[in-house]
Amino acid sequence: MTTTSDLTGRTALVTGATAGIGRAVALQLADRGATVVAQGRDADRGAELVAAITARGGAARFVPADLAEVADVERLAAAAGEVDVLVNNAGVYRFLDTPSTSAAEFDRHVAINTRAPFLLVAALAPGMAERGHGVIVNVSSSAATTPAPVGTAYGASKAAIELLTRSWAAEFGERGVRVNAVSPGPVRTAGTTGMLGENIDLLGKVTLRGRAADPEEIAEIVGFLVDDTRSGYLNGTVVLANGGERSAMAA
């Protein structure tokens, strides 16, 4: 497969890279010439991803890590080494109401969705700043800004990552590091389909596009945000990719 060379010579760390949006992002960045460091927990899926990237003419390696564990996040950052692109995609989501959400479940959402990106940025962004260039893309969710009666812990963890996106843009932007986020609406992945079943289609139908997104559509936006030529003046921005929200009157 012929790849474009806009990311040739660059290294990209993608968390949650073995499925869904993360896998689509990893494949796209590798196709564009980046060496991909793919994080996940399943070694078999990690090996399959590396094989798929290699078969397309790209370069990748898999680093297993449990992002709920601080030591594993720190080990992942050390194993990744100097990176030019960091995509904080990994996330956990359970759509429970508040009384049904245990303290442990709340802590797990915060640990994976908020703390892990925080620790990775703390470990890797200073090196980007010293080298004078780098791009960080955080994958948020429409749950961060759209109140719902379930998924409160998930929404809170994603709202935090959107504030961190703006804070990191202010902290590192003057030293050549751009930090942005993409906020998807309903996306058809194995995870969402397994959890929500046909409800993922119902969620998609209430958008102005009338359907759930494919992972590749969100990966295209991540790819745009990574590209210094096409998005070089974007910093501290959250790109909404929710298919369009219907107004209360239209609904």
Cα-trace Rg, the chain: 17
- Give CA–CA dist 197/214, Å, rounded: 15
Catalytic residue among 62, 95, 154, 172: 154
Contacts of 4 (CB under 8 A, 6+ apart): 31, 32, 33
Contacts of 66 (CB under 8 A, 6+ apart): 41, 72
Nearest to 121, CA basis, from 167, 168, 61, 180: 168
Contacts of 6 (CB under 8 A, 6+ apart): 32, 33, 227, 229
Dihedral pair phi/psi, residue 98, rounded to 5°: -60, -50
* Residue 233: active-site member: no
Catalogue the active-site residues. 154
